[in-house]
Structure 1
Amino acid sequence: MLPAPDPGERLRASLRLVLLACLPGLLALTWLHGWGTLLNLLLTTTAALATEAVLLRAQRRPVRAALGDGSALVSATLLAIALPAYLAWWVPVIASASALALGKHVYGGLGKNPFNPAMLGYAVALVSFPAQMTQWPGPQPLDLGTSLEAVFGLAVRPDAWAQATVLDVVRHNQSLTIEELFGQHPAFGRFAGAGSEWVALAFLAGGLLLLQRKVFSWHAPVAMLGSLFIMSLLGWNGSGSDSNGSPLFHLLAGSSLFVAFFIVTEPVSGPRAASARLLFGAGVGVLVYLIRTWGSYPDGSAFAVLLMNLCVPALERWAARRQGQPA
């Protein structure tokens, strides 16, 4: 008789696959922006592991086994990807410590968090340091020395290293048509942001790997991308100056594909029933579009995910009633 599979080992294997699937996106971001995202990763990982160790020791729980499960490393990696490159070093550190402390341990640790830790850490940084969090670098890689100087405040940042994102440009555009924006503004590429289109496709490739390996089901990512596509199609009025952008633009711009495959699929803070996952993903897609179009933030993915995290208990009760089970 074969021994039953170890749930802990299955979890660790899934988390290792998530880290592997992040690699194409990390490489694409490094190609586009240089060392900034890797420095983010170094800072968020260090802060996450240190915070995890301190809080585990404070709770008199075994440190080595908990650090070895990989959950803190995955949260830190996803947060590093989501943050703008070349942030001052203390922003990723505070965001990562907040993700682990407020997004995980305050609720009892792994498996008990109602909110996505990476998105909670991102939201803390965005609300606390709005000026720094809106400084997105343009597609001009900085060398390692300049990158270290920028992150650790050792020198003045190079001129014109940051620029508005395509989502920000479209949201504030009042006079140029979409075709003119794509033809004249340096932030625009062929379908969305210059270079960032390839980053989005790299995360799509990683997400499809996870889907093929059955790390998660298709329900939440397909529902999110489908609802974002439908909302942007309904709000698209062609190439006019008041256009909110095409469906393809919204799918390839910002963090859409990254969030669809690496954030809304997080198993603990999301619903478990397939029908509830469909509604969860659809809700995230709708909120992303609404925040992009009429909100105060160009992307808004973190807030969309956190708001839908609040709805998970209601979605689970609805799914249970639908299946004739006690809510």
Structure 2
Amino acid sequence: MEIVKENRNISASPHVRDKMTTDKIMYIVFAALLPAMVFGVYNFGVHALLVVIVTTASAVLWEALIEKLLHKPITIKDGSAAVTGLLLALNLPPMIPLWIGILGSAFAIIVVKQLFGGLGQNFMNPALGARCFLLLSFTGPMTYFIYDGVTGATPLAELKAGQTVDTMSMLIGTIRGTIGETSVIAIMIGAIILLLTGVIDLRIPGTYIVTFVIFVTLFGGHGFDPQYITAHLCGGGLMLGAWFMATDYVTSPITKKGQYVYGACLGILTGLFRLFGGSAEGVSYAIIISNLLVPLIEKVTLPKPFGKGGEK
């Protein structure tokens, strides 16, 4: 009798099939970021558009180059590099020198993503890792904000200094800030796209926002002041971070309980940085620190199996 040997991939059940591929998810996320990008370009002008184009394109080129040098399959068609580049661009000031965007995309793709194994292996969000790298390396350009020809502090910094802010302008987005963080309306249009297509759900962003509101109410010194809370929610990168970066599949927990814990950590850390830190912002650092806590969160919240050695 002839024995036929076949190579088979054996993995643990359950075996789930889903029409939602990695490529499709990335294209949907990219499309969902377009409202914030379009408003940012409209709000800040031609240079903001150049920052978006150069940073996004360079991220794709860096990915193709490093994969070629490492003799790995070229994966730029999956859209992940383009999403990383666009997210980084939306987290940059509108008048940032273009070479800084190129350097940031190199750090995001080469250091944070590819040196740790590529898509699915990075331990923190590449775009936020690059933003924090740029903040530490080029603090001046990264904190230079201009709107309508006038430079100055962002509304969030003014709020921290005890000044009054226009919450309606913060909601619409006609304020100083990074290219993609100013308009809550544009961000929420993208968030709705992600929710309706099933790319994300409410567990992480919902827990994040609710926890942050509770923290600000308890420790902000204003009690439950709707205007003060709204200003904090609309200011800085909280909404962009909550819906587009905290929900990153690779760097967020896979367990449902873990996602609630993760969201709570994000809310508490953001509140700590904003209210008690030296900077008015804190979303980027809160998300990165929470990314590092994900393995521990998953270990604690992983469901125990039934049967021998498990729950009975």
The normalised TM-score by structure 2 is 0.84
Code of the residue aligned with 1:190 in structure 2: it is: M
1:57 to 60, 68, 90: 68
- Given that 1:167 and 1:292 are in contact with CA atoms closer than 8 Å, whether structure 2 keeps it comes out as no
Do 1:251 and 1:257's aligned partners in 2 also have CA atoms closer than 8 Å?
A: yes
In structure 2, how many angstroms separate the alpha carbons of the residues matched to 1:198 and 1:87? 16
What letter matches 1:234 in structure 2? L
Deviation of the 1:117 alpha carbon: 0.4
2:237 corresponds to:
255
The aligned residue for residue 85 of structure 1 is: 94
Are 1:137 and 1:163, in contact at CA under 8 Å, matched by a contact in 2? yes
Corresponding residue for residue 11 of structure 1:
22
Aligned-pair distance for 1:38? 1.9
Letter in 2 for 1:52: E
How big is the shift at 1:254? Answer: 1.0
Kindly report which structure 2 residues correspond to 1:151-170, keeping only aligned pairs within 5 A, or say none: 161-170=150-159
User: Is the contact between residue 26 and residue 37 of structure 1 (CA under 8 Å) also seen in structure 2?
Assistant: no
TM-score (norm 1): 0.81
Deviation at 1:259, TM superposition (A): 0.7
> How far apart are 1:296 and its partner, in Å?
2.4
Match of 1:29 among 40, 43, 52: 40
Aligned CA distance change for structure 1 residues 191 and 229 (closer, same or farther; 3 Å): farther
The residue aligned with 1:102 is 111
* Aligned twin of 1:291: 273
Q: Distance in 1 between matches of 2:290 and 2:304?
A: 20
CA displacement at 1:98 relative to structure 2: 0.3
Using a 3 Å threshold, how does the CA distance of structure 1 residues 238 and 201 change in structure 2: closer, same or farther? same
Q: Could you say if the C-alpha distance between residues 61 and 161 of structure 1 is closer, same or farther in structure 2, counting changes exceeding 3 Å?
A: same
Please say if 1:195 is aligned against 2:174. Answer: yes
CA contact under 8 A between 1:56 and 1:62: conserved in structure 2? yes
Q: What is aligned with 2:9?
A: none
Distance 1:57 1:221 in 2: 36
Q: What residue is the counterpart of 2:198 in the other structure?
A: 214
After the TM superposition, which residues 127-142 of structure 1 pair with which residues of structure 2 at under 5 Å, given as runs? Answer: 127-138=136-147, 140=148
- Alpha-carbon displacement from aligned partner over 1:230-283 (angstroms, at most 9, x marks no partner): 1111134449xxx9x721111111111111110001000111111111111221
Partner of 2:59: 48
- Give a deviation string over 1:294-319, Cα, whole Å, max 9, x none: 21222121111110011000000011
Q: Which runs of 5+ in 2 are unaligned?
A: 1-15, 176-180
Deviation (angstroms), 1:321: 5.1
Contact 2:88–2:131 (8 Å) recurs in 1: yes
Which of 91, 103, 111 aligns to 2:120? It is 111
Structure whose alpha-carbon radius of gyration is higher: 2
Residue 214 of structure 2 is aligned to residue 230 of structure 1? yes
Report the AA paired with residue 67 of structure 2.
L
> What percent identity do the matched residue pairs reach?
27
Letter in 2 for 1:277: Q
Query: Does structure 2 retain, via aligned residues, the 8 Å contact 1:76–1:118?
Result: yes
Closer/same/farther in 2, CA of residues 232 and 322 from structure 1, 3 Å limit:
farther
Gaps of 5+ in 1: 141-159, 183-187
**What's the offset of the Cα at 1:51?**
1.3
The answer to whether the 8 Å contact 2:27/2:79 transfers is yes
Q: 3-state SS of the aligned residue for 2:94?
A: coil
Do the aligned residues in 2 keep the contact of 1:191 with 1:252 (CA within 8 Å)? no
Over aligned residue pairs, what C-alpha RMSD do you find? 2.5
Instruction: Sort the Cα spacing of 1:290 and 1:59 in 2 relative to 1 into closer, same or farther, 3 A.
Output: same
Per-residue CA deviation, residues 143-195 of structure 1 (Å, 9 max, x unaligned), is xxxxxxxxxxxxxxxxx54220011112233xx5xxxx23xxxxx34374762
